[in-house]
Amino acid sequence: MLLLAYLQNYFHRTAPGVLSSDLMAAFKTSGASLGALASTYFYVYAAMQVPSGVIADTLGTRVGVTLASVIAGIGSIVFGLAPTLAVASVGRLMVGFGVALLFASTVKCHSRWFPARRFATMVGVTVLVGNLGAVLSATPLAALLTLFSWRTVMVGVGISSFAVALLTFSVVRNRPQDLGFPSVYELEGGEPEPEREQHWVHDLWSVLWNKRIWPGFLANLGLGGGLFAFMGLWGVGFLRDACHVSPDTAPDYMSVMMFACAAGAFFFGWFSDRVGRRKSVLLGGASIYLAAWLALLYLPWQGGILGYFIVAAMGFSGVGILLTNVLAKEVSHPALAGMAVAWVNTGNFLGTALLQPIIGWVLDRTWDGKMAEGVRVYSEMDYHNGFLVVIAVTAASLLCVVFLRETHCRNITVSMQTKDAAEIILP
């Protein structure tokens, strides 16, 4: 149920990339205004990350995900029925408000139901399934738009969110003890899992003062922000207008990129657990991601196999940023996993919220006035200038990764006596 809810999260996140032409025509808006509309989701998503962590650590996963799905469902319906850009922005804001609660609550559940040596793998599985939602918002959504209007599709997605909320409240439980099982800590031969010992305000303050999680927050600003700005809004337009990929084919590139993100999410989580390293794995992925951006802008390509390879490499390596969330949990008190992960994740969406309109602003500054069916058409040089901003912040974020603390796949804030992992058989 949690993965199903998270799948819808990614659909909402990246759908404007395929809907961009429809939205610009429906609301007669510019690139900067469209970027602002799409970024409404990310602004509120970023603002809600800390509250979502508090909800995860206090009310628990069950309440958090149920509430998230209900609010996102209402927002999607408002967005689909919006008569004006302002109303659409309100709907998008509600969607962002709702789905912002999902990740911290889901990761909190993983920290309670799975052992530490499988935690990154489960985070990877979560992001993998989420990216399948992003895949649905690319070519499948484009195909669906040939049968239904974008408004009908968004209303339908809203109704499905209500069904997910009902199923989540019926099925999900916060921790094994709620069903009579021992905690994961006890199954591994340790003491019962530590609980929160003070008011959540003091817990939150201790998380924010934890200097070990700040490099992850800053790394997310550029690495995650650039990835979602391209994949969620500007990628299709770039391929169509600058690379001369046909409008029918451009969403296919985004589908390939999202499939690569899904595969990369699982790989980085699994591989990190396998080799017992976090920082070095993340550093390698981030370096490949920067190289992919440089190849996208400076290699001579006009679509085809090379184009698919570049966007696939970008998606596969860029999603390695999920390891910053894993590190946040491992450098914080176990009972505060929700708040720690939520704070680091804030950087991801704050970066996206800033970069989407900044890229649109740069595009508008050099736009030559060309229009097609009421939609602005940007040149290759316009996109090149806009994406130079992404390359700059990506390089800066790569430096932040260097300052992350290596945890060797364990929580470094507590000392636990555990059995040899090979001797433990978990159901």
CA 265, 268, 272, 275 torsion: positive or negative?
positive
% of the chain at pLDDT higher than 90 = 24
Q: Enumerate the domain spans of the chain.
A: 2-174+200-411
- Give which of 149, 118, 100 is closest to 410, Cα–Cα: 118
The owner of tokens 């195909």 is 143
Q: Mean per-residue pLDDT for 173-191?
A: 80
- Give which of 203, 206, 244, 198 is closest to 380, Cα–Cα: 244
Q: How far is CA 76 from CA 24, 41, 85, 161, in A?
A: 18, 11, 14, 9
pLDDT at position 58, please?
A: 87
pLDDT at position 425, please?
A: 36
290: amino acid identity, one letter? L
CA distance 424 to 427: 10
pLDDT at position 293, please?
A: 94
- Chain segment 86-139, per-residue pLDDT in tens: 888 888 889 888 888 888 899 888 888 888 888 889 988 998 888 788 778 777
Residue 383: in which H helix or E strand, if any? helix 380-402
Confidence check: pLDDT of 264 > 80? yes
Name which of 33-37, 272-276, 333-337 the model is least confident about.
Answer: 33-37
Q: What is the largest CA-CA distance in the chain?
A: 68
CA distance 96 to 38: 10
CA 49, 50, 53, 59 torsion: positive or negative?
negative
Is the CATH code 1.20.1250.20 the one for domain 2-174+200-411? Answer: yes
CA 185, 187, 191, 195 torsion: positive or negative?
positive
Confidence check: pLDDT of 421 > 80? no
* pLDDT mean across residues, the chain: 84
Q: Mean per-residue pLDDT for 196-204?
A: 74
Confidence check: pLDDT of 416 > 60? no
pLDDT at position 46, please?
A: 76
Helices (DSSP H) in 239-379: which residue ranges? 250-275, 279-298, 305-318, 323-330, 337-366
Q: Please indicate, yes or no, whether the overall pTM of this predicted structure exceeds 0.85.
A: no
CA distance 63 to 50: 16
Phi, psi values for residue 375, rounded to 5°:
-115, 135
